[in-house]
Amino acid sequence: MTAALPWPLVVGLVAPLGLAIGSFLNVVVHRVPLGLSVVHPPSACPQCRQPVRGRDNVPVLSWLLLRGRCRDCRTPIPVRYPLVEAGTAVLLVAVALHLQDVALVLAVLPVAAAGVALALIDLEHQRLPFAISGVALVLALPGVLADQLGSSPAAPLWQLLAGLAAWVGVYAGTWLLTGGRGMGLGDVVLAPVLGLALGALGLGPALVGLMAGFVLGALVGVLLLSTGRLRRGERLPHGPFMLLGAAVGVFAGEPIASAYLSLTGLS
């Protein structure tokens, strides 16, 4: 493992970065499902089409100062925008503080940020765009390689590969066996991204994250069916549960795996 960063430096660096990334993710969530560029044209009010001024584009703060309305036409700006910005910053800081390792942070942060956008898009459009998953994979690779090539990697190479293989095998196998009815191809494409990030932390986090996604999805599905909010045969987006499961793997995968091995006498 590479050297850990002191927490004040982590917060001071990652929190502003997370706010900026969250602001960009709002653009991604809106434009990518529509097939639009995320860099051009500049952001504008959807009602009056006036471009957003620089001073009105400061994450969270601008929304508060504008009282949640467009400066020009006073159209309400959805509260989702500052929530995504603040939530992304909190998530990235939490990941960095938990991992406390430069290489692992570089590996997991891009996946965590992409996960925010993917979860929101899947909930609204029932899609997991390949472009976002692909970018996350490319951005995570340098951190994974830096950790593996270091003097003391967080997980042996075999654990990294086994975790990756487990995620790919389960999702690709399920997709093939069900003919694509059990899940979308976007879930299959996202699987190696999450498997790589979690496998870099160890086989325990990878397997716990994999199982947690299915368990959470099943629990929520049963709850929605029992309350009538989901009809039989209606598809529940699985991407958010994959991502929540991966979060469980990151933050609690190792202790959960250790506790399970202790209970079964396998440790």
Report domain extents, the chain: 1-100, 127-267
**DSSP string covering 190-255:** HHHHHHHHHHTT-HHHHHHHHHHHHHHHHHHHHHHHHTTSS-TTPPPP-HHHHHHHHHHHHHHHHH
**Which tokens in the block code for residue 120?**
């929101």
Q: Write the pLDDT tens digit of every residue in 110-157.
A: 999 999 999 999 999 999 999 999 999 999 999 999 999 988 899 999
Q: What is the pLDDT at residue 151?
A: 86
Confidence category of residue 267, pLDDT binned at 50, 70, 90: low
Using the predicted structure, report yes or no on whether residue 260 has a pLDDT greater than 60: yes
* The predicted structure's pLDDT at residue 3: 53
- Beta-ladder partners of 51: 44
Q: What is the pLDDT of residue 9?
A: 78
- pLDDT at 10 (0 to 100): 80
Q: Give Cα separations from 112 to 40, 93, 126, 198, 249 (angstroms).
A: 25, 11, 19, 11, 12
Is pLDDT larger for residue 231 or for residue 31? 31
Tell me what pLDDT residue 45 has: 84
Report the pLDDT value the prediction gives residue 54, as an integer from 0 to 100: 87
- pLDDT for the residue 46: 83
Non-local CB neighbours of 67 within 8 Å, separated by 6+ positions: none
pTM > 0.85: yes or no? yes
Residue 2 has pLDDT above 80, yes or no: no
For residues 86 and 22, the answer to whether their CB atoms sit within 8 Å is yes
